[in-house]
Amino acid sequence: MSPPVAHRASSVEPTVISEGRSLRVLRPRRAAPEAAVRPTRAEIDLSALRHNLRAIRRAAGQARVWSVLKADAYGHGAPAVARTLERAGVDGVAVALLEEGVELRSAGIRAPILVMGGYYGDAYEELLASDLVPVVYHEGHFDGLARATRTRGLSERVSVHIKVDTGMGRLGVSIDELPRLLDYAAGFPQITVDGLMTHFACADVAGDDGDASLAEQMAVFERAQAIVRAYGLAPRYVHAANSAALLRAGFDARLAAVRPGIALFGVAPLASEHRAPIDLHQTLKLRSEIVALRTVEEGAGIGYGSTWRAPRRSVIATVPFGYADGLPRSISERSADPARGRGEVIVRGKRAPIVGVLSMDLATIDVTDIAGARLRDEVVALGHQRGPLGESTITIEELARTAGLIPWDVMTSISRRVPRFYREP
C-alpha cells in the first residue's frame, strides 16, 4: 500500500490526501502563482477579509461566527482564507463537502469545521480522522458514524449538528420526523448532538414576502428547539443565519451562532434600505493586461460572428481572460446600443467597453477613448483601479447584474486556471 502523497497545489497530478481503504479523496487542483505566466490573476485582499470579519462580528453580537468557506471559499482559495480568518479569531468554519473539510484540515486549520452537505458516502472514518463535525438529518448518518467509531476504537466520541428543514425544502429532517430521529439518536451514546441548525429560503427577499417566510421558518425552528430540549438535549450551537439573515433590518436570527458566507467577501445581500448598516470591502480583484493592440477601420468586425462592427476608426485591445476563466460570456452580448457590449473593464483608471463576444481565453475591448492605452496596461474586470485617467471600481454586484447572474455565481465561477494571489496591502 503506498503512503499518502502530498504534491504541491500546482502539481500536474491531483493530490492524494487519503489512501488505504477503498477511498481516495482528491484535492481539486488549481493554478498556483508560481506557475503563472499569463498576466491574468485573481488578487485577494486579506486585510479586506479581516475587516469584513470584524464588521460581521459587530453585527453578530454575542453569537459565534462560523465562516462559510465552501466552494473553495467562494472561489478565493479556502486554505488561505481559512488561515487568515483563523488567525483573526473566527469561531469555526463551515463547508459543504467532506472533501473540502479534509482539505482544510490537511492545510493545518485547527478551528472546528462543520460539514453541511450531509453526503458522506462510506467515508465516515474520514470525517473522524479529520476531526470534522458532520451535519446529520437521517438515521443512516447515525449508523455510519457508529460504524466508524467502532472501527476506530470504542472510546471515539463524535459531535454532530442536526439539520431541520423548516421550509427551505432542500436538506434536513422535517419537524414531524424530528422526534423519531431523536429517538433513534438516543441509541448512540457515543454521538453528541452539539448543534441544531436550519437554513432560510427567503432571507434576501426584501419586503413582506421575505418577512412572512422568515417568521414562519423561525416559528418552526423554535418548535424544533423545544422538541430537542424535551429530549434532554442542550446543543451548544443553535444556528440559522446566513449573511442576509444576519444583516436583515428588523430581524434577529443570531441565536448561538451565525453562518455568513458572502458577506465575508464584501457583498451584502439585500439593498441598503433593507439591512442594518455595515461597511464591507470587496476582497476579490480580477485583473489582466493588454497583450495586443490594433487600430481597425470603421465597419471592421471584431470577434466570433463579427457581432460588433467598429462604428468609427477604433483602437481595440486584446486581453487574455475569457469565459473559461469564469467571466460570464453574457456580459459581452450586444445591448440595445449596437456600439457597445454591455460589460466594461477598467484601463488607466477609466471604463472601457468589452466589444465583440467574449472568447474562451480572450476579451476584446474598445480603448479608442482611453488616452495613452498601451501594451501591458493593467485591465480590471472586477475590483478597483486608480490610473492616470481617474479611478473606478467594478463590484461583484455590478458584474452579476450585467451578466444576469447572482454575486455567488460570479465569485464561485472564477476558474481554477486563474492563479490566486494573496495581498496584504
- x-or-dash pattern for ligand PLP, window 343-382, by CB under 6 A? ----------------------------------------
User: Interior CA angle at 231 toward 120 and 254, to 5°?
Assistant: 70
- Binding ligand PLP by CB under 6 A: which of 79, 261, 356, 419? 261
Is the separation of the CB atoms in 173 and 181 below 8 Å? yes
DSSP summary character for residue 29: P
In this complex, which beta carbon is closest to ligand PLP, that of residue 251 or of residue 308?
251
CB of 259 to ligand PLP, least distance (A): 4
Cα distances (angstroms) measured from residue 322 to each of 29, 168, 179, 286, 378: 20, 35, 52, 12, 16
Q: Which is nearer to ligand PLP, 92 or 419 (CB)?
A: 92
- Rule CB under 6 A: say whether 199 interacts with ligand PLP: yes
Q: Between 193 and 262, whose beta carbon lies closer to ligand PLP?
A: 262
Task: Give the total of residues touching ligand PLP (CB under 6 A).
Answer: 12
Is the CB of 264 or the CB of 302 nearer to ligand PLP? 264
**Contact in structure between 268 and 275 (CB atoms under 8 Å):** yes
Query: Catalytic: 70?
Result: yes
Cβ-count burial of 406 within 10 angstroms (0-12 exposed, 13-18 middle, 19+ buried)? middle
The least distance separating ligand PLP from the CB of residue 221, rounded to whole angstroms, comes to: 13
Distance CA 257, CA 90 (A): 11
What residues numbered 400-419 form the site for ligand PLP, per CB under 6 A?
none
Task: Say whether residue 259 binds ligand PLP (CB under 6 A).
Answer: yes
Min CB(285)–ligand PLP separation in Å:
20
Residue 232: CB minimum distance to ligand PLP, A? 27
Exactly one of 242, 288, 318, 385 binds ligand PLP (CB under 6 A); which one?
A: 242
DSSP states along 171-227? SSB-TTTHHHHHHHHTT-TTEEEEEEE---SSTT--SHHHHHHHHHHHHHHHHHHHH
Buried b (16+ CB within 10 A) or exposed e, 264-285: bbbbbbbeeebbeebebebbbb
Q: Is 262 in the site for ligand PLP (CB under 6 A)?
A: yes
CB of 181 vs ligand PLP, minimal distance in Å = 18
Instruction: Rule CB under 6 A: say whether 146 interacts with ligand PLP.
Output: no
Q: Which stretch binds ligand PLP (CB under 6 A): 55-63, 182-190, 255-263, 336-344?
A: 255-263
Choose one: 22-30, 206-214, 261-269, 295-303; the region binding ligand PLP (CB under 6 A): 261-269
- C-alpha 322: how far from its chain's center? 21
260 scored as a contact of ligand PLP (CB under 6 A): yes
Cβ nearer to ligand PLP, comparing 245 with 382 = 245
Among 59, 68, 257, 284, binds ligand PLP (CB under 6 A): 68
Our answer to whether residue 74 is catalytic in this structure is no
Annotated catalytic residue within 74, 237, 304, 323: 304
DSSP helix/strand/coil, 306: helix
Q: Which of residues 92-121 bind ligand PLP (CB under 6 A)?
A: 116
Amino acid at 340: R
- Give the β-pairing of 92-95 and 113-115: parallel
Which residues, including other chains, have CB under 8 Å from residue 396's CB and lie 6 or more apart? 265, 266, 267, 282, 284, 382, 407, 410, 411
Using CB under 6 A as the criterion, which residues of the chain lie in contact with ligand PLP when the complex forms? 68, 116, 199, 242-244, 259-263, 269
Point out the residues that are catalytic.
70, 304
